[in-house]
Every structure is written in C-alpha cells, then in structure tokens.
C-alpha cells in the first residue's frame, strides 16, 4: 500500500505489525500513448549496491539496506501496475570487494510481467521522472512469503513459466516476474534480515551471509540477452 506521507504515530494495541515504514516518491510519466507509474525508494541506504560482474550479478546490503530491499520487493509483489525503482548505482560496496574495470554499477527496477514494460524505454522514462510525490509505503509483516500454491515439484521443469526474468538496460537491472515469483524470491530475501545478523554473530570468521536468486531454470547461466542469470546478494554489515 502506498499512501501520502504523514507523521508517524504510535500503532494501536493489536494492530497488524508491519515492516519498517518506507518513504517513497511516486511519479506518473507518459511515453507516447502509455502512462507509467514509478515508485522510487527515497532515500536509499548507503550500503545497498548492485554490480554486474558479467559472470554473475552481485548485490551488497547492510541491515538498513536489506530491510529496504525486502520492503520494496514486497511492494513489487503487490503492485502489478507500477515500476518499483531503487536508484542504487552510487551505493558503496565493501572495501574488500574487487571493483575492477569489468564491474558495472547498476540501479534496480522490479516490475510485474503483465505491465509488459519495454526496458529499452527506461532511459527516456527515467529522464522524465521529476520530483514526484512523497508518500509512505507499508506492507504486512509476513510479506513477502512463499505462496501457498507454489508448485515446488515443477519449478525446475522446462515448461514451468513462473520464474523471475532479468534484463539490463540503461545501467539498470530489471527483475521481471509475476506476484508468485516475487513472493517466492522475496521469502528467500527475508533471510538477509532475519538470519544474516545472527549468522555472522555465530560464525565470526564468515565473511558474509548470502542469498542467491535465479532467473529461469537452474541450468541457465545466462538470460536470452546475455545477462547473468544469477543474482548473489550478500549481507555485509559495517566491518565485514
């Protein structure tokens, strides 16, 4: 749910517990005959960064970054008519992470496949965003979670179609899928928030806690556009 921004108030006793409130900016942009709604995270945490390493996609997040990523992912699962935009190209990667000439910094857009958004139009649309309208986005605390009707037995079959898809355009990674795919992958992302901090406490010699998301069947190393089919997301708090 995206509502006009307002002052925070103390929740009533017994009210539904929610994820941390996310401030977003909502934009309406017309391109030709089509009009698009963009929900942009504002601000984004300093430690939320995405890189195209050309053999795989790498993302780095601290606690604040992981919480914001999870909240926006949950919003994308419920927003079939919006492009959910995280401008994280300038995000800082850990100091011990190689960031050579072959690594490209990317923004992130989450979009429902029913919108049929042509990613080649993103550069023009992004240039027209303007200031947007400041609003507050909230999602129930249990979101995203594994859908009850997810067919685990068929997920790796060639004919199964409810996978995420990845595409890169204008220095932006597009994660494209249906509500079921976003909820299933978002449930995996919850580990960054719920398990990452305790994991590094229990295993202090570990460099990071990670979650990996795949585009399409497990056997595919690349998407049709030669975009890596693996998104490796590391929980990396300060000092790791």
Q: Is residue 149 situated within a structural domain? A: yes
In a domain, 8, yes or no: no
Query: Is the residue at 6 inside a domain?
Result: no
Q: Is residue 211 part of a domain?
A: yes
Tell me whether residue 170 is in a domain. Answer: yes
Query: Which two structure tokens, joined as six digits, stand for 99?
Result: 């960031």
| Digit-coded pLDDT (tens) for 136-167 | 988 777 766 555 555 555 555 454 557 899 99
Q: Tell me which residue range forms the domain holding 200.
A: 20-235
Q: Is 240 part of any domain?
A: no
pTM of this structure: 0.85
pLDDT averaged over every residue in the chain = 82
Domain total in the chain: 1
Asked whether residue 137 is assigned to any structural domain, the reply reads yes
Q: Sign (positive/negative) of CA torsion 12, 13, 16, 17? A: positive
Let me know: does 209 contact 234? Beta carbons within 8 Å. Answer: yes
* Residue 9 resides in a domain: no
Mind listing the pLDDT tens digit for each residue in 23-72?
Answer: 999 999 999 999 999 999 998 888 899 999 888 899 999 999 999 999 99
């Amino acid at each position: 749910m995206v509502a006009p921004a307002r002052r925070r108030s103390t929740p009533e006793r017994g009210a539904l517990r929610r994820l941390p409130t996310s401030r977003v900016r909502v934009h309406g942009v017309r391109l030709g005959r089509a009009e698009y709604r963009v929900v942009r995270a504002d601000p984004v945490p300093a430690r939320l960064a995405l890189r195209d390493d050309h053999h795989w996609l790498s993302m780095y997040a601290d606690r604040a970054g992981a919480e914001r990523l999870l909240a926006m992912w949950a919003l994308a699962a419920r927003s079939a008519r919006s492009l959910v935009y995280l401008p994280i190209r300038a995000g800082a990667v850990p100091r011990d992470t190689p960031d050579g000439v072959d690594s490209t910094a990317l923004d992130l857009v989450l979009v429902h496949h029913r919108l049929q958004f042509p990613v080649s139009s993103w550069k023009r649309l992004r240039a027209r965003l303007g200031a947007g309208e400041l609003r507050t986005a909230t999602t129930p605390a249990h979101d995203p979670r594994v859908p009850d009707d997810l067919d685990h037995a068929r997920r790796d079959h060639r004919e199964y179609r409810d996978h995420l898809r990845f595409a890169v355009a204008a220095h932006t990674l597009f994660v494209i899928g249906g509500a079921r795919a976003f909820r299933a992958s978002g449930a995996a992302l919850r580990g960054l928030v719920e398990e990452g901090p305790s994991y590094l406490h229990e295993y202090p010699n570990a460099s990071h806690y990670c979650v990996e998301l795949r585009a399409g069947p497990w056997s595919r190393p690349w998407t049709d556009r030669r975009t890596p089919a693996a998104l490796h997301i590391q929980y990396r708090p300060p000092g790791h």
